Each structure stands twice: as structure tokens, then as C-alpha cells.
Amino acid sequence: MFEVSLPETGSCALLLLFKHICGKPQFSRSKLARIARGNTAKRGISPWIAMFSSTWSGRPFCGGSLIGNKWVITAAHCLHNEVTPEETRKHRSLKQDDSEQIFQAKNLFLHPNYNSSTFQNDIALVELSQQAFLNNYVMPVCIPEVEIQPEDFVVVSGWGKQFLQKQPEALMEIEIPVVPHELCKVGYAKMGRLLTDDMICAGLREGGKDACSGDSGGPMVSFSQSKNSWYLAGTVSWGVGCGDSDSYGVYSNVYKNLGWIKTTSGVKY
């Protein structure tokens, strides 16, 4: 079943207007306070975010990011078990609002080199049953032209549990820095975990801000000053603990997987 809930006016005009626009939300993002639990995201601030919810409970279990108008990037580990995801873009996790659009997944594509034991190439694509109607609340994020660099700040969004305690009612977001790969690699080696070249680490050494259970597959975005737009740097993948000190969150590197993403989806921007 295909269900769409949209504002009543302007749909056709907006569809044409946003056809080739990515990463340019119509609602501004104020500077995020660097506090432990992140902030409740302003409605419409991340119009590319997708929520995968259970068809029987309605509860979200993973996130994703819209690219183009018919494809969602998420984590492969969200889909490698046999599931039938219902894909939603919305602000609140359980309550419906008039800006969300609901789709069934038509096809699932896991990265051919995904390793469920190490989370290497933990990235997947979901083809929607129909094209999304693009507007101020539903807009694709740009795919990267350059790779994210250490010390760059990124914004991570999701409906995951805060410090493994409870799931928030509304979309949450945090702003954190990218961590040098070798620093993170050494830290995880001490825990017996392998950090591969297609992974990005981000967070604070003292902890307190991190993606958590339920955020998997959700967007890590960065702002390009030259393009004046937001692009998808990574997707939430794995970590040890949740917001612990000296234990950074790990994200799949979208730039490292661009060839497969473009070939599979046909999306170029």
C-alpha cells in the first residue's frame, strides 16, 4: 500500500522547483549548542531524513537519507536480515504530521562487499515504490564531491535511544567533529575491533555526544561553503557503548562508496 500525506497546496509547482535541488533546506539551522544529549531538531531542518519503521509495531528501527527522488541510503546491517521496511520521512517518531510521506520499499540493495562481522561497507540502497513529492519538507541531500576531513564538524540526526535509555518523541540532532582515522583506529584496536578505510569516526574524546541504538543508517551531513549546500558524508554504522569517553561513533564513508551508489541508483547529485 502507498500512502502520502502532503500540504494541500503547491505540490505540482514545488515538484518542478525542487527537481534538481539538493541539500538546501528552506528552514535555517541555528548554531547547535554542544550539550550532552543533543537538540530537538527544528521541523524541516533535515528534509532528507528517512525513518524505517516496523509494519507491525510502527516503531522506528533505523534511519536513512533521501538522494534523488526515489532512493534512500541507509546501513546494510539494517536490512541484511529479511525485513520488509516501511520507509517514512517525518519529524516525530510515532505521531503523524502533515509533511510526512510514507512508502513501501520496492527493492533493497546491500553493498556487494558488506561484511556483517566487521561492518565493512556497511551501506545499502532502498528503491522506493514511487517517487517522493519534493517540497520544503522533503528534499534530497547532496552526495559528496570531496571526502570529509578530520576536525570538520558534522551533524548527525536520528530517533535513536538517548544513551540507551529511551527513544525521543521527535527527531534529535548533534554536532560533532570528525576524528583522525589513525587515532580512532588505535583506540578500537585496543578493544579488539577493526577500523577499515571505508569508516569515519566522529565525536568528543570526553564523550557525551554520540549516535545510539536506533540511529543506524541515519545521516551524517556536512555543510559545503563553496556549494552552499549540505552533503551526506556518512551513515551511522556502529560503536562501542553510547557516548562513552575515548569511544567514538563509527560511520560508513559515503565518498568511498560513490561508485557503487551512482551505478546502482543512477543519482549523480
Q: Is the same domain home to 15 and 127? A: yes
Confidence band for 258, pLDDT divided at 50, 70 and 90: very high
When pLDDT is averaged across residues 28-32 and rounded to a whole number, the result is 56
Q: Is the same domain home to 131 and 63? A: yes
Give dist(CA 127, CA 121) in Å, integer. Answer: 19
- Domain of residue 73 covers 3-26+47-140+258-265
41: in domain: no
36: in domain: no
C-alpha cell, 165: 535509555
The SS3 assignment for 54 reads coil
- Out of 110-124, 133-147, 190-204, 240-254, which region has the weakest mean confidence (pLDDT)? 240-254
Q: Is the same domain home to 128 and 16? A: yes
pLDDT at 120 over 80: yes
DSSP state of 162: B
**Options 216, 222, 252, 265, the catalytic residue:** 216
Q: Is the same domain home to 127 and 159? A: no
**Options 65, 77, 91, 157, the catalytic residue:** 77
Give dist(CA 49, CA 88) in Å, integer. Answer: 9
DSSP state of 30: P
- Please say if 80 is a catalytic residue: no
Q: How many domains does the chain have?
A: 2
**Options 46, 122, 210, 222, the catalytic residue:** 122
39-90 pLDDT, tens per residue? 566 677 889 999 887 666 666 678 899 999 999 999 999 987 544 444 444 4
Find out whether 231 and 23 touch, Cβ atoms under 8 Å: yes
Residues whose CB falls within 8 Å of the CB of residue 173, separated by 6 or more in sequence, listed in order: 32, 38, 39, 41, 45, 46, 155, 156, 157, 158
Residue 187 confidence (pLDDT): 87
Confidence band for 142, pLDDT divided at 50, 70 and 90: very high
Residue 204 confidence (pLDDT): 78
When pLDDT is averaged across residues 191-196 and rounded to a whole number, the result is 91
CATH of the domain at 56: 2.40.10.10
Closest CA to 211 of 253, 160, 252: 160
**pTM summary value:** 0.81
- Please say if 216 is a catalytic residue: yes
Give dist(CA 154, CA 148) in Å, integer. Answer: 9
**Rama region for 190: left / alpha / beta (φ>0; ψ in -120 to 50; rest):** alpha
40: in domain: no
145: in domain: no
